[in-house]
Amino acid sequence: MDTSGNAPSAREKKRPAEMRIVLFQPDIPQNTGTILRLCACLGLEAHIVEPAGFPVSDRAFRRAGMDYLDQVSIVRHESWQNFELWRRQEGLRLVLFTTQSAMPYLEHRFSERDILMFGRESAGVPETVHAAADARLVIPLRPGLRSINVAMAVAMVAGEAIRQTGGQQ
């Protein structure tokens, strides 16, 4: 309850204070719009590491995000170097989701100060990003299958991270 004696509304309940979703050079506007909509609904800050493979004015991007784009906090970083400088200054842990990891995301202990990074749909992230990550995690798939849609991956991981940190109740 708050100091007025009223029970907190759903919006006032504890949310991950610092956890953020980061998209590294996204190249499919529909996926980015869907992820930003998810961030708006869950109260997560979204970061985009440029360059993106589409303009923000792209119709598919706006359509996928619908009217939720005005409800999400979006931070754009001009480059990987600018993002990494900001992240280190803030003292945040970089958690990278990659098919090149053996550590399942369900075995990871998430923190409210994590940055959950997802790579470019067409190419993932370069080795410099892999090297900078504090943790590299994978969403386990059935043998012979490569990957799932990045928007689905973000939803799965955000749900688990919020569950672990007590962000949604």
Q: Which CATH number fits the domain that encloses residue 41?
A: 3.40.1280.10
Q: Count of CB atoms within 10 A of residue 79's CB?
A: 12
Question: Quick one: which H or E segment has residue 66?
Answer: none
| Residue 7 is assigned to a structural domain of this protein | no
Q: Flag whether 37 is in a domain.
A: yes
| Residue 10 belongs to a domain | no
What total of structural domains would you count in the chain?
A: 1
What pLDDT score was predicted for residue 65? 60
Is 3 among the domain residues?
no
Residue 123 maps to a domain? yes
Cα 137 to chain centroid, rounded? 13
The region of weakest confidence among 13-17, 28-32, 44-48, 117-121 is 13-17
114 contacts 93 by C-beta, under 8 angstroms: yes
The confidence score (pLDDT) of residue 57 equals 66
**Pairwise CA distance, residues 93 & 75, whole Å:** 17
Q: Chain-centre distance of CA 61, in angstroms?
A: 17
- CA 14 – CA 166 distance, rounded (Å): 8
Beta-carbon count within 10 A of 130 CB: 15
pLDDT tens readout for residues 96-151: 999 999 999 999 999 999 999 999 998 999 999 999 999 999 999 999 988 899 99
Q: Does a structural domain hold residue 5?
A: no
Distance CA 103, CA 1 (A): 39
What residues make up the domain containing 30?
A: 16-165
